[in-house]
């Protein structure tokens, strides 16, 4: 669960990287059993991730460059002390690393991944708070074979928190999620095929 929306495949790049950009994560809760009722009575374990809100006071950011991937997070205030936008992105350049190898099979392989998250938050007044999250990720790999595997996640969520008084609070949440998976046979033969599904 990412900001109240379902993330169907939280294992980018064959599970080598974290579910989302670590610079954008604020809190993560793992439920191995006794899943709370608000999570829909799921039978499997649940990984509930909450992302950071942007900094409404000043422009800020952080990033990192690694041997096969880089990530960046930038926060921009819209209205000082009231609203802001947070953007985070990651990408891997593993294709370049594979092509530099001397092994022909690996040099002809491909493996790429990128994701991005955009979050808007606004303290409308002392009793109302609005936040919205957009997320997209895409993986594509083909390791020593003619088949190209790719999958993507897309989600959007909007949450409105309202305080009726000191003891009573409520929230309205709208979410939408999509997961796509495709297998493409990379050949000019007549028996080439494309297989996939969307959830």
CA distance linking residue 192 with residue 189, whole number of Å: 6
Three-state DSSP at 105 gives helix
pLDDT one-digit tens code per residue, 4-60: 999 988 888 777 778 888 899 999 999 888 888 888 767 778 899 999 999 999 999
pLDDT at 72: 95
pLDDT at 132: 97
**DSSP assigned state of 52:** P
pLDDT at 108: 67
CA distance linking residue 161 with residue 169, whole number of Å: 7
State pTM to two decimals. 0.85
Q: What value does the CA radius of gyration of the chain take, rounded to a whole number of Å?
A: 20
């Amino acid at each position: 669960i990412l900001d109240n929306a379902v993330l169907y495949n939280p294992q980018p790049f064959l599970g080598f990287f974290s579910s989302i950009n670590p610079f954008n994560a604020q809190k993560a809760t793992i439920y191995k059993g006794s899943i709370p009722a608000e999570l829909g009575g799921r039978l499997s374990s649940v990984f509930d991730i909450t992302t950071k809100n942007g900094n409404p006071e000043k422009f800020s950011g952080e990033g990192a460059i690694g041997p096969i991937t880089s990530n960046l997070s930038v926060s921009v205030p819209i209205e000082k002390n009231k609203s802001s936008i947070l953007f985070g992105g990651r990408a891997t350049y593993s294709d370049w690393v594979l092509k530099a190898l001397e092994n022909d099979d690996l040099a002809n392989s491909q493996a790429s991944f990128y994701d991005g998250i955009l979050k808007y938050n606004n303290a409308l007044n002392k009793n109302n708070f609005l936040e919205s999250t957009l997320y997209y990720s895409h993986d594509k790999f083909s390791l020593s074979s003619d088949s190209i595997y790719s999958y993507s996640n897309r989600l959007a969520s909007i949450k409105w928190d309202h305080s009726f008084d000191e003891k009573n609070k409520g929230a309205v949440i709208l979410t939408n999620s999509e997961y796509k998976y495709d297998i493409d046979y990379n050949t000019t033969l007549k028996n080439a095929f494309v297989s996939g599904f969307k959830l």
